Every structure is written in structure tokens, then in C-alpha cells.
Amino acid sequence: MQDLHFKTITELAALLESGELTSVQLMQAVIDRTAAVDEQVKAFLSYDADDALAQARASDERRAAGQALGPLDGIPVGIKDVLAVKDQSVRCASKMLENYVSPFDATCITKLRQAGAIIWGRLNMDEFAMGSSTENSAYQTTANPWNLETIPGGSSGGSAAAMAAGEAIATLGTDTGGSIRQPAALCGVVGMKPTYGLVSRYGLVAFASSLDQVGPFARTVEDAAIVLEAMLGKDLKDSTSIESLGETNYAAALKDKKGPWTLGVPQEFFGEGIDPEVKANIEQAVDWYRGQGCTIVDISLPHSDLAVPVYYIVATAEASSNLARFDGVRYSHRSEAAKDALTLFTKSRGEGFGDEVKRRIILGTYVLSSGYYDAYYKRAQKVRRLILGDFEKAFEQVDAILTPTSPTPAFKRGERTDDPLAMYLSDIYTISVNLAGLPAISVPSGFTESGLPIGLQVIGKAFGEAEMFAIAHAFEQGHDYYKTTPKL
């Protein structure tokens, strides 16, 4: 039998239901695995084994009483350190929140608890979700389980690495410009960003509010769909949350929707900067769909090359405003050297924030400042609409869009830390999706010659998760990449 920690939610749910497995046994297996490998991987900032086992016992008791809650009951789900879990630290991998303990659960956590999931551990990330390699964590650097010398991607690098290493059965991440999909691709797991508004942001520490979304990492597309389905819904605590305007019975969609689909391939995503192995791999994936009877259409998203500059204006502007709350007064780091109201802010923020966070707050402050607002921020917002328009036009003729998730496989640690612009270009294929508010998923599509994973991105229509999942699921089930696990 395959190790428990590498099984899927659907496999484990069946074992739990038949009584062949208890949630306590499963949780203990995941704890043992984590204890064995996390010294190398460093995916977790912290975890509380006793608390997790107590949740597992409660799940087993529900099941014994005939009150099991569904496929997630008793399944350990790891949580990115940016999401609030009651009575646990929420540090966003920052010194700024070193002492913060959340008095409440994020809405997505509440919903996972209602579905019976075990809330498991705090996963490493780039500080305040700013980065593409998880090297911006103030606490530790996470390794890619496929090659410990390389980065796991970011910002949800801990969530992706924990999945690849078998330290959780599913995990949550957040995606502002690709922070779920890019690490999923680099770590060879499934990662999905929902349509903007589908999952409440209440309890998610805000980075860029018009772009941030919570989403799942999982071993399979079906597992990702199960986790997402549990988190859906309008929430009075987040005025931008919305009931899906599309189909949300994803399990049924995976069974019923078999294509053939009309799929768009944007020429702009295969040009300069793409690694030749990634390019060949994604072209092969496109050919696979063609072989299944799908119609492949060459499309154009002409404003694609502007997505990165638009993103780094819009996102940093929103960040400079959102992160103003970390002021050294109520719950964040306070400088010992603060002598008055002004130095309370300036010194506490100078000490508490890391380099990338400072860089983005300053950039965001600049593009919003008097004299530059129109030239940068307002212009970027206009180009954002043009980017959305490109997608709307493409979706008039296609069901979904296929692209690489990342232009390169995992890169070496330290390779881009001194070149922020090179780091920003890691997200070149994922960012436009956030600007347009669309759903997208990264699904494993093979390996480079040196054994690093590659991811295929499927971009769906707004609220078109059901179709998008079905398209990704078809590819996944036609291959066995998801069954391959790294040797640790």
C-alpha cells in the first residue's frame, strides 16, 4: 500500500468511511512524516501535534456516532501563515507579527472546520505573501522537495513543499499574482486560484485586496475541487465575496463534463524568457488535448507583456495602504528606540519589515504620491481593463486557455534574491489572471531532464471553475505525473 501521507483525499475518505482507517491513525502518520522530513524541507513554521490529534479524535467520534461530515472529515489541511486560526500565531512569516496570536478563525477556516477538516500547522511563506521563492520569510527558507538546492516557489512555498513532501493531505495558500499556482508548478502538485470573490478574505491578512484570493493545494484536481467546494460562499464579513454565478457541484462536473473542448493557446506565453524544456512540455500537453478531440485555437492576449508592470503598480499601491496598519501601537512589533509618535511608526516599521516588504511599500507609496498618481496608478488601472478585455475577447471563442504556469522550473536558492525585477518575472504567466479576476489551476505536466516538475496552467472563465476543473482533471487522469513523489 502506498504511504498514507501520499494518498489523496478521495482515497483516504473511502478508507475512513469503511473503517479501515481512523483519523487519528492518519493524523499520526502525517505527524510522523513531518517529523521525519521537515528538518530538510522546512515547510512548517510551527505545528501543534497534540491539537491536531485532538481534532482527529473528535472526527473519529463523529464518525462512530454516524455523524461524519463529508469527504474532508478527518483530513489534515495545512494552513499558510497568512490565514487566521483561533489561538494560533499568525505571523505572515514577518518579525512584525512575531507576537500576534489570532483571537478568531478566518471564514475559510471556519468553513473547513464545519466540513470536519483538521486544521494542521502553520506553513512558511514569503513575508506578507510578497515574493516568488519563499526566500523572503523572516524565519526560514523552505526547500523544494524535488531538489533541496532549489526554491519551492512562492509566496505559498511552504504550502506547496508540504504537499510534495507528504506533510499534509491538502493545504491552503493565497494567490495575489500567482502565489498558489507558481509554487504548485515548481513542486509538482495541484494548486488552484478561484474567481475573485468566490472565497471570503475575512481573516486573510491583506496584501492587495483587489487581487488576493484563498485557494487549495492538493494532489489531484478532484481533491482541490473538494477543498474549494467546502470554502465557497458569500460572507457578510467580506463585502467583495460573492455567490458563484456558475456551477459549484464540482464532483458532478468532473464526472459529467468530458469535452471535447475548444481551448485557446496564447502565442504571447511562448516567447522570450521561457525555458525550452518548459515550452516543449506545454506544447506536448496541448497536443495531448488535440489528440483527445479538442479544438485548439491560437489566440492573442495582446496586452500580456504589460501585466507585470500593471501588477507591480496596483499591488504595491494597495499594499502600501493595507500595511499601514502595522504601526507598532496595538499588536505589531514596537521598536525599543521609539521616543515619540513619529519614531514609534518609523522605527517600528523599519525594524519589523524585511527588504521586499519595504521595497513594495515604498514603491506603492511612490505611485500613489502627489504628482505620480495619474502617471502610474491611474494609467495602470486603465491598462488593467485592457488586460481583462483581452481575456473577454478570447473567451468568446474558447472554453479555457492553456499556458505554462511558470516560465522556468524551480531555480537555485539565492539566484534571484538580489534582482527583484528578475524575481517579479517569475510570475509573468500567472499575474494577468489575478488582474482579470479569473480562476486558474496549475496541474503537473511532467518533469525536466534533471527531474524538476513542470506545471500546465488552465485558465477558466469567471465563475467557470466546474469546466476548468474538468479540463484539468482530464489531462491529469490521462497521465500519471501526480502519482510520482520526490525521494526524501
Using CB under 8 A, which residues numbered 370 to 409 contact other proteins?
375-376, 378-386, 388
Question: What residues contact 342, with CB distance under 8 A and at least 6 apart?
Answer: none
- 179 is known as an active-site residue: yes
Chosen residue from 192, 204, 313, 472 binding other proteins by CB under 8 A? 313
Question: Residues 333 to 362: which contact other proteins by CB under 8 A?
Answer: 333-334, 338-347, 349-350, 353, 355, 358-359, 361-362
Strands in 219-270 per DSSP E: 262-266
Please state, in angstroms and rounded to a whole number, the distance separating the CA atoms of residues 426 and 421.
9
Using rule CB under 8 A, residue 437 touches other proteins: yes
| Catalytic pick among 7, 42, 59, 80 | 80
Residues 103 to 122: which contact other proteins by CB under 8 A?
A: 103-104
| Choices 116-124, 152-160, 180-188, 191-199; region in contact with other proteins by CB under 8 A | 191-199
| Residue with Cβ nearer other proteins (109 or 380) | 380
Residue keyed to cell 494532489: 219
- What b/e string do you get for 398-422 counting C-beta neighbours within 10 Å, with b at 16 or more? bbbbbbbbbbbbbbebeebbeebee
Residue the block writes with cell 499534509: 168
321 binds other proteins (CB under 8 A): no
Q: Are strands 295-299 and 118-123 parallel, antiparallel or unpaired?
A: unpaired
Residues sharing a CB contact under 8 Å with residue 79, sequence separation 6 or more, in sequence order: 85, 109, 119, 120, 121, 122, 123, 171, 172
Given the rule CB under 8 A, which of 15-23, 266-274, 418-426, 480-488 is the region that contacts other proteins? 418-426
Q: Position 20: which residue type?
A: E
Of positions 35, 64, 252, 324, contacts other proteins by CB under 8 A? 324
Question: Which residue among the candidates 102, 179, 320, 432 is catalytic per the annotation?
Answer: 179
Name the residue nearer to other proteins (CB basis): 87 or 256: 87
Query: Which CB sits closer to other proteins, 64 or 341?
Result: 341
Q: How far is the CB of 390 from other proteins (least distance, A)?
A: 12
For residue 207, give the C-alpha cell: 496584501
For the question of residue 155 being annotated catalytic, the response is yes
Active site residue 23: no
Cβ atoms of 398 and 297 closer than 8 Å: yes
> Judged by CB, which is closer to other proteins: 78, or 437?
437
**234 is an interface residue for other proteins by CB under 8 A:** no
Q: Count the Cβ atoms, other than its own, within 10 Å of residue 376.
A: 22
Which one of the listed residues 155, 332, 432, 442 is annotated catalytic? 155
Determine the Cα–Cα distance for residues 17 and 23; give it in Å rounded to an integer.
10
Residue in the structure block whose three cell numbers are 494597495: 318
CB 398 within 8 Å of CB 262: yes
Among 306, 315, 278, residue whose Cα is nearest residue 131: 315
142 three-state secondary structure? coil
- Determine, following the binding rule CB under 8 A, whether residue 242 of this chain makes contact with other proteins: yes
Using DSSP, state whether 412 is helix, strand or coil. strand
> Which one of residues 309, 447, 481, 484 is an interface residue with other proteins (CB under 8 A)?
309
The answer to whether residue 174 forms part of the interface with other proteins (CB under 8 A) is no
Subset of 202-221 contacting other proteins (CB under 8 A):
210
- Compare residues 131 and 437 and give the one whose CB is closer to other proteins: 437
Task: Specify the residue, 139 or 331, whose C-beta has the smaller distance to other proteins.
Answer: 331
Closest by CA position to 140, among listed 354, 326, 361, 332: 354
Letters for 449-478 (x = contact with other proteins by CB under 8 A, - = none) are: -------------x----------------
- Give yes or no for a contact between 263 and 295, defined as CB atoms under 8 angstroms apart: yes
Taking CB under 8 A as the criterion, the residue among 305, 392, 397, 478 binding other proteins is: 305
Distance of closest approach, residue 407 Cβ to other proteins, in angstroms: 16
Residues assigned a catalytic role = 80, 155, 179
